Amino acid sequence: MDLLKIIRDNYPRTRVIIITGFGTVNSAVESMKRGAADFIQKPFTPAEIRNVLNKYLPKKDTATSKTLQFNRDGQVATIIGVSPVMQDIYDLVLKVAPTDSTVLITGETGVGKELIARAIHFHSQRKEQAFLTVDCCSLVESLFESELFGHVKGSFTGAIATKHGSFELANGGTFFFDEIGNISLNIQAKILRAIQEREIKRVGDTATIKVDVRVIAATNRDLSQAVAEGGFREDLFYRLSVIPIHVPGLRQRREDIIPLAEHFLEKYNQKRKKSLSGFNRDVEQLFIEYYWPGNVRELENVVERAVVIEDKQTVTVPSLPSNIRNLKSKPMEKEDSVKSLEQLEREHILSTLEQTNWNRSKSARLLGIDRKTLYDKLKRYRIEK
C-alpha cells in the first residue's frame, strides 16, 4: 500500500495491478480506493494474468485513431485529440482533403486552426505542392494587395522590381488565410474575384494570370455576425464556408488536456535533454480545472516552462505559473453563481497583467496569444491601467 501511494503520487498515468498471497475483500477494496487498477490473489494462472493485462494495454487500432498526422516543414507532425469532437474533425478532414472545396476553419486563438489546415493539405492531392500562409493580422493595408497578388516594376514608390505574389507562388498548391476576418472590404472583393475566377492581376498590371489554388481560411471571429454588422462581405463568407470546420476551445474538450500535455512533455524532454516521467496528480487536476483562454498554445507554453524549471522526476505544482497554481486555493463556484466565459476571461487577463506588472508582450506570451489579440481583448473588456 505504501508503494502504491508513491506510484500514484509520482506516476499518476501508470496503471497499477496489485498481486498478493494474502487477499481479502477488505484489502482489495482498500487498494482500489488508493488508485490500483486491479487486484489479483495468488494462486493464479497465466491465462488470468493475460486477461487482466488485456484490459489495460492500449490497442493499436484505437491508439492510432486518436491522432491525425501530417507533414510540417519536412517533419511528421501529429494533432492529438481523444475527444469525440476531435475524432469527428479528423473524419471530416479526411473526407474533404481529396476535394478542392474551400474550407473555413473557426475557433478561438490557439486551438490549432493552422494545424488543421496543414493536415487538409497533406492528405490532399496537392500535398507535393506549396502550402503558403498569409497572416492577415501582420500586414498593413497598403501592402496587402502587393503581398497577395504581386506588383510590376514602377507601379508605386519603392517597386524597384516585379514581384510575384503569394497567390501566384501557391499555384498548384494550397493558400491559407490565417485570421481572414481582419482584412478590409476592399481586399475582400479582390480575394473573392481571385477565388471565383481563378485568376489574379498584379498591382500596376493590366494582364491577368491564371492560378490553380485551393483556398483554406481561418478566423477567431464570428464572421456571420461580422456580415450582419457590415464588416465582412456576405458573398465572400459563403464562398469560403463551403466546408466549415469549428475547432472548440480546450475547456470544451477537457479529455484532450492530459494527452496533449503528455505529448508536449515528450517534445520538450527531447528538446531540453530532460527525462521528466509525467505529471503529479495535483498538476493533472489543475490542468483539468483551468480555463485555458490561450487553449492548446497556452498549454504547450505551460508544459515547456515546467520542463525548464522542474527539478523533480515529475512535473509538480510549484513549476506551474501562478495563475494556475492559485486555482488550488480557490473553492469551487456554486452552480447558481457560475461566471460567464467572458467574466472568467476578463479576470484571467487582469490577473496575468498584474503578474507581469502590465507588460503586455509578456502577458500575451503567457496567455498563448499574439499582442494584437490581447489589445483587442483589452479594448473589448475595457481593461486599462
Q: For position 334, what pLDDT does the model report?
A: 44
**pLDDT tens digit sequence for 289-298:** 898 999 999 9
Q: What percent of the chain has pLDDT over 90?
A: 40
In one letter, which amino acid is 282? D
CATH architecture observed for domain 2-57? 3-Layer(aba) Sandwich (3.40)
User: What's residue 59's pLDDT?
Assistant: 52
pTM beyond 0.75: the answer is: no
**2-57 and 65-246: identical CATH topology:** yes
Top CATH class, 65-246: alpha beta
Place of cell 505542392: 129
Using omega within 30 degrees of 0 as the cis cutoff, is the peptide bond preceding 321 cis?
no
**How large is the average pLDDT for residues 361-372?**
82
The CATH code belonging to domain 253-330 is 1.10.8.60
For the chain, the domains span 2-57, 65-246, 253-330, 333-385
* Helical ranges in the chain per DSSP H: 2-10, 25-33, 46-56, 60-65, 84-96, 113-122, 141-149, 166-169, 185-197, 223-228, 234-240, 257-272, 281-289, 295-309, 322-325, 341-355, 360-367, 371-380
CATH superfamily entry for domain 333-385: Homeodomain-like (1.10.10.60)
Mean pLDDT for all residues in the chain: 84
Give the mean pLDDT of 355-361: 83
141-157: per-residue pLDDT in tens?
A: 767 888 888 888 877 77
- Window from 3-12, 17-26, 69-78, 355-364 with minimum mean pLDDT: 69-78
Q: Is the pLDDT of residue 61 over 50?
A: no
Tens of pLDDT along 265-283?
A: 999 999 999 989 899 989 9
- Asked whether the predicted pLDDT for residue 120 surpasses 80, the reply is yes
Residue scoring higher pLDDT (373 or 111):
111
Question: Nearest 5 degrees, angle CA 187-CA 237-CA 181?
Answer: 55
What pLDDT does 64 receive? 42
pLDDT (0 to 100) of residue 381: 80
What is the rounded distance in angstroms from the CA atom of residue 28 to the CA atom of residue 19?
10
Mean pLDDT confidence for 18-45 = 77
User: Mean pLDDT across the stretch 21-47?
Assistant: 77
